[in-house]
Amino acid sequence: MDLGLTGKVAIITGGSEGIGAVTAGLLAAEGCDVAIGARREGPLQEAAARIQAATGRELLALPTDVMSSEDCAALVRATVDRFGGVDVLVNNAGISSAAPFDEVDDSIWQADLDLKLYGAIRMARQCLPSMRERGAGRVINVLNIGAKQPGAGSMPTSVSRAAGLALTKAMSRDLAKDQVLVNAVCIGSIKSAQWGRFRERLAPESTEAEFLAQVGQSIPLGRIGETEEAANLIVFLASQAASFITGTAINVDGGASGTW
């Protein structure tokens, strides 16, 4: 299937590892010009080099903290200067932050919302003028299944991700007239660098394979998801094949969530 992505320009935040880096690689392989941003310059440049070696396409990699309006503007400006515009924005920046309600203080609430909700708002605001000028666009917000089905001890992430879900729906209505499609991907248990950190904290005596196998036992499909399985959906939503899909949030969770 021709996804119609050749010559399109995509920006991915949180692009130095995990879902962001794999998505960047798949978009580059489809013929996109890709810009990636993340806070840590070393891993960011390493990801860009790996993708360039695999696809033959040179990426723009710019250290970016989405909690900074100036950084967001600089990433978009550099992308437009290098590639001529922006067609696709993947808001993927974020970390897992989860605790019971009474253990989360104001500073943690503020930082989480600033990173995950306001970061997506800042990036979309910067990209929208170029998308309007080009006559269409795609915004894909990477959330998690807690946005729809929060569990105990899941704050502040579940709340900030639920806000991202509302943002997705509201933006899709406002921007439909501009042919800017806005969707969300709700991630379940997908392989990422964060799982390595979870293992070190929760089960340091286990190997990575043992730990992931144990996590997978609670998932109806019987395994944890591959990073590519989430990235494939993001690329599809960025493509012409998804031209009549907007305002939706799709779970990538192996059937783990009880929500649609």
SS3 for the chain is CCCCCCCCEEEEECCCCHHHHHHHHHHHHCCCEEEEEECCHHHHHHHHHHHHHHHCCCCEEEECCCCCHHHHHHHHHHHHHHHCCCCEEEECCCCCCEECHHHCCHHHHHHHHHHHHHHHHHHHHHHHHHHHHHCCEEEEEEEEHHHCCCCCCCEEHHHHHHHHHHHHHHHHHHHHHHCEEEEEEEECCECCHHHHHHHHHHCCCCCHHHHHHHHHCCCCCCCCECHHHHHHHHHHHHCHHHCCCCCCEEEECCCCCCCC
The 10s digit of each residue's pLDDT in 29-44 is 999 999 999 999 999 9
State residue 77's pLDDT score: 98
The 10s digit of each residue's pLDDT in 162-186 is 999 999 999 999 999 999 999 999 9
* Fold of the CATH domain 9-190+225-252: Rossmann fold (3.40.50)
pTM of the model: 0.95
| Average pLDDT for the chain | 95
pLDDT > 90? residue 21: yes
Model confidence at 194, pLDDT cuts 50, 70, 90, reads confident
